[in-house]
Amino acid sequence: LLPRMRLGYAEAKNDKGLSIRGGQDWVPVAAQNPGTIDFGVQSWSGNLWWRVPQFTLRYKPKNIEFLVSAMKHRVSNEQEQQEKMPWLLGRIGFSDLLGKGSLVAIGGGIRSASDVALTSSDATGAVADTSDYSSNLVALELKVPLGEKFVINGEVYTGQGIGREFVHYGLDYNPASPEGGKEIATKGGFASLKFLATEKIEFNAGFGLDDPDNTDMQYEGVDEGGDPVVLLSGPYLKNQTIFVNMKYKVTKNFGWGLEFINFTTTVADAAGTGETDLEGQRFTASWWYAF
C-alpha cells in the first residue's frame, strides 16, 4: 500500500465559536458514522462519507452550529468526470436539543459537473462528447444518548448525482441514458446502536441501505443474440448491510474488536429483465492504536 495523507489542514479559530479550516478533512455534511469496524464504513450502503480537500467555515455561538463549505475530490488525467465547480455545502446542527449529548442536523449541497466521454481507453484521452449535469443532496443527521449505556445515531439522505466525493462511485451520472444523459437519483441511510457494557467493552449493531433510482440507470443495449434490451449502468439496484460487533479497549489508545456483517445486494440479470439478490457474510477481526 502506498502511504497517503488522510487528514491534513490548517485552522484558525477564536473563543466566540468561529473557525475557518482549509485542507483535507472529513465531509462536513452527512457527518455521522456507524459503529462498524469494517474499513468501508458502510460505503454504498447508507453512509455518505469521505476525506476531501475543502474550505469550511463554522460558527457555533452556543448550542447551534452554522456551516458553509466548498469541497472537491482529487482529480487525475484519467478521471472521466471533470467538475466545473466544487460541491457548495451548508449545514445547521442543534446540540442537546433531544437531551444532553444529542445532535440534530440538516445539511446538503449542490454542484455542477461535466461528463467527458473518451473515444478510446488509451492514454491519449481523446474527447468524443461532453455532457453537463447537476448534483444535489439533502441529509438529516441524528445522535441521541438513551440513558447512560445506549447511544443511537444515523442519517438519511436523498439527492441526485452523488458520486465520488461521498464514496458513492458509479452512481452519479448515466451518460448512455435514452434521454441523452441523466443524473442518477438515490436515497438511503443507516442507523447504529451502541451499548456501553463496561468502561472497556462496548457492543454495536446497525443497518444501512442505499437505493438508487433504477430508471435513471437504464440504457439501451443488445443481448447475446443481438436483440435490443434495456441494461443498467450502476453497480447494483439496491445494497444493504446488517452488522454486529464487540469492541474491547485495552488501554486509552489501544483496542481490538470482532465483527459480523451480512450483505444483501440486488442486481439485474444479464438481459436486464429480472432481479437477483446476492447475499454474503464477512467476519472481521481488527485492532487499532489511536494517537
* Mean per-residue pLDDT of the chain: 88
**Region label for 39, one of left (φ > 0), alpha (ψ between -120 and 50) or beta (otherwise):** alpha
Residue 142's closest CA among 266, 45, 30?
A: 30
Q: What CA–CA distances, in Å, run from 108 to 13, 69, 88, 136, 159?
A: 24, 10, 8, 7, 9
Question: In degrees, to the nearest 5, what angle opens at C-alpha 231 toward C-alphas 229 and 236?
Answer: 155
- Per the DSSP assignment, residues forming a β-bridge with 274 are none
d(CA 132, CA 262): 38
pLDDT digits (tens, 9 = 90+) for 141-190: 999 999 999 999 999 999 999 998 999 988 988 888 877 778 999 999 99
Whose CA is closest to 130, among 112, 110, 154? 112
Q: For 206-228, how does the pLDDT look when each residue is reduced to its tens digit (9 = 90+)?
A: 999 999 999 898 887 766 676 66
Residue 175 is classified by DSSP as T
What is the pTM assigned to this prediction?
0.89
Cell of 224: 447475446
pLDDT at 283 over 60: yes
Query: Cell digits for 196?
Result: 456501553
Residue linked to cell 489542514: 9
| Calpha distance 49→40 (Å, rounded) | 10
φ, ψ of residue 26 to 5 degrees: the values are -60, 150
Count, residues in the chain: 291
